Chains A and B, each alone.
Chain A
C-alpha cells in the first residue's frame, strides 16, 4: 500500500498549457509538501500545507497554486506552463510534531514534467 502517491509519473505538455499533478497520502499526516527538483538534483521547497492551511510559499510564481481538498490530498496546479518549469516535482508528507520538531518526510515517486 503506497504511503504517498502522486500522478501522473510523467507529463509532457506544450508551453502555455495548464496542468495538474495530484498527490495523496494515506499516513494520516498533518503536513504535506511540494518540492521541485531541477536537472542538477537541487531540491527546492515550493509549498507546505498544514491542516489545509498554507504555511510556506517560497517565492514561487503565482502560476503555481496548491489545492488541498482535505488533509490527505495536496494537488499542484500550474497555469501557462513555461520551458523553465520542466523538472521533477515531488510530493511529501510528515506528521506535525510542533512540540518536538521530531519529524521526517515521506516522499512520493515524483512526477517528471517536460514542457516543450
Chain B
C-alpha cells in the first residue's frame, strides 16, 4: 500500500541555520503531498501542500517541491527560528482519500 518515509529525528539546529527534512513516498497513483506541523501540546496543522508533480508548496518560509522522478517531497527552510521547534509530518493523500503519515521528525531550534 501507499506509504511515507521521512528522516529520523530528532533534529537540533541553531537559530538561522538551514533546515532540510527528507521525505519520500510510495504510491500506486498520483497522490497529493503535504507537510503538517505539530507544536507542543497541540494538534496537527497543515503547513503546505502540493497536488501534482513539480508543484512547490510554500508557507511561513518553508518550501517543498513535489518530485515525481525521485518520489520525494523534502521540506526546507533557509533560516529557522526558535518558534519553528515542533514535530513535522510528511503525508500523502491518494485517489481513495486515504491519508498516510510519516513517523514525524522532531525539530528543536536553539537560540
Contacts and interface: CB of A to CB of B under 8 A. Distances in A.
A102 B66 CA distance: 14
Interface string B69-102: 0000000000000000001010101111111110
Contacts of B95: 98, 101
Interface stretch (A13-21, A38-46, A67-75, A77-85): A38-46
Which of B30, B89, B93 has the most chain A CB within a 10 Å cutoff? B93
Given A100-B32, A102-B32, 4 more contacts: A42-B103, A56-B98, A98-B97, A103-B32
Interface of A: 31, 33, 35, 40-43, 45, 48, 50, 55-56, 90, 92, 94, 96-98, 100-110
B98 A104 contact: no
B97 A109 contact: no
Nearest to B42: A109
Interface of B: 29-32, 34, 36, 38, 42-46, 49, 51, 87, 89, 91, 93-101, 103-104, 106
A102 B46 CA distance: 14
7 contacts: A41-B103, A90-B44, A98-B96, A101-B31, A101-B97, A103-B32, A110-B43
A48 B96 CA distance: 11
Given A107-B43, A107-B45, A109-B43, A41 B97 contact: no
A96 B93 CA distance: 11
Q: Which 3 A-B pairs have the closest CB atoms?
A: A107-B43, A101-B95, A41-B104
B87 to A, nearest CB: 5
Nearest to B102: A43
